[in-house]
Amino acid sequence: LSFWRWVVGALILLPFAAPGLRAALPRYRQHWRSFALLGCLVSGSTTLVLVGLNFTSATNTSLINAVQPTLTALLCWLFLRDRLNAVQWLGIAVAFGGVAQMIVRGQWQLLVGLTFNGGDLIVLLAMLGFATYAINIRRIPRDLKGPQSLFVIILFGLVPLLPFYALEAAVYRPVPFSSHTVAAVIALALLVSVLGMLMWTRGNQLIGPNRAAAYMNLLPLFGAMLAVMFLGENIAFYHVVGAVMIVGGMWLVLRFGGVLPQTLPRT
């Protein structure tokens, strides 16, 4: 699934990436290490999430996913010398609490019964990969077009995925091709691999990885809103509490943030 979503994503981007690609090739060759790193990080991280879900629960995965802003903040501190102040750390903690509030549906006693296994470690590695990708986005030269850069990143990311896909198809579990599978792959490719990645990458470039990571806390909030709109679920009190905590925590992070360095060392 991970392999094909990126293949389809590359095909969707091709008409937008092809114009001017030959003229830009010297720039891509100059920065090929950065694009290779970004490609391996994004394809590897998305694959690790899918692998981890085979061994752990959706609840555990959601909670670990909420750790990504913290991991991003730590990496920014280590490599970009961007330190969060006490108010921003408080904001991260409050937003994480809001995410947890929505995941456990306000029943905090459920956390006592949670168990962790190797699948959780795999998902945690994926979150570390996403955080590493976020802080390295600034390696992309500003003069290169967004769709074109993402196209090149995806091509690099497909290289390490190909042997694993071939091994899975030949030995473990071939991907079952059906109308539902094709629809899922196209939806993931268009909405997540292309549109989502373009906006996330551009957002990181404009406001920095620390601030951009704070918006990841909105995922369960949007999930709850979609469930109310399309699945007929009712808004519960824990939704309101979680939403207030998430928005309040994000406001603290964004309102009291500093200015990130605009570039990383050239490669």
- Three-state SS sequence of 33-88: HHHHHHHHHHHHHHHHHHHHHCCCCHHHHHHHHCCHHHHHHHHHHHHCCCCCCHHH
146's tokens = 């967004």
Is residue 264 situated within a structural domain? no
200's tokens = 């996330």
CB count within 10 Å of CB 106 equals: 16
Is residue 262 situated within a structural domain? no
Q: Judge contact between 59 and 104, C-beta under 8 A.
A: yes
Give the structural domain span for 97: 2-255
Is residue 263 situated within a structural domain? no
How many domains are there within the chain?
1
Any idea which residue has 């003229």 for tokens? 23
**What pLDDT score does 128 carry?**
92
Is residue 261 situated within a structural domain? no
Rounded to an integer, the average pLDDT of 94-112 is 78
Is residue 180 situated within a structural domain? yes
Is residue 209 situated within a structural domain? yes
**What pLDDT score does 258 carry?**
53
pTM across the whole model = 0.82
Looking at the predicted structure, is the pLDDT value of residue 61 above 70? yes
Express as a percent the part of the chain with pLDDT over 90. 31
State the average pLDDT for the chain.
84
Residue count (the chain)? 267
User: Among candidates 86, 102, 36, 57, which has minimal Cα distance to 244?
Assistant: 102
Kindly report, residue by residue over 23-59, the tens digit of the pLDDT: 999 999 999 999 999 999 999 999 998 888 888 777 6
Looking at the predicted structure, is the pLDDT value of residue 97 above 50? yes
Is residue 25 situated within a structural domain? yes
Kindly report, residue by residue over 167-215, the tens digit of the pLDDT: 877 777 767 778 888 898 999 999 999 999 999 999 888 888 878 888 8
**In the chain, what's the furthest Cα-to-Cα distance?**
59
Is residue 265 situated within a structural domain? no
User: Among candidates 260, 262, 265, which has minimal Cα distance to 83?
Assistant: 260
Between 7 and 143, residue with greater pLDDT? 7
38's tokens = 């970004």
User: Among candidates 41, 36, 2, which has minimal Cα distance to 126?
Assistant: 41
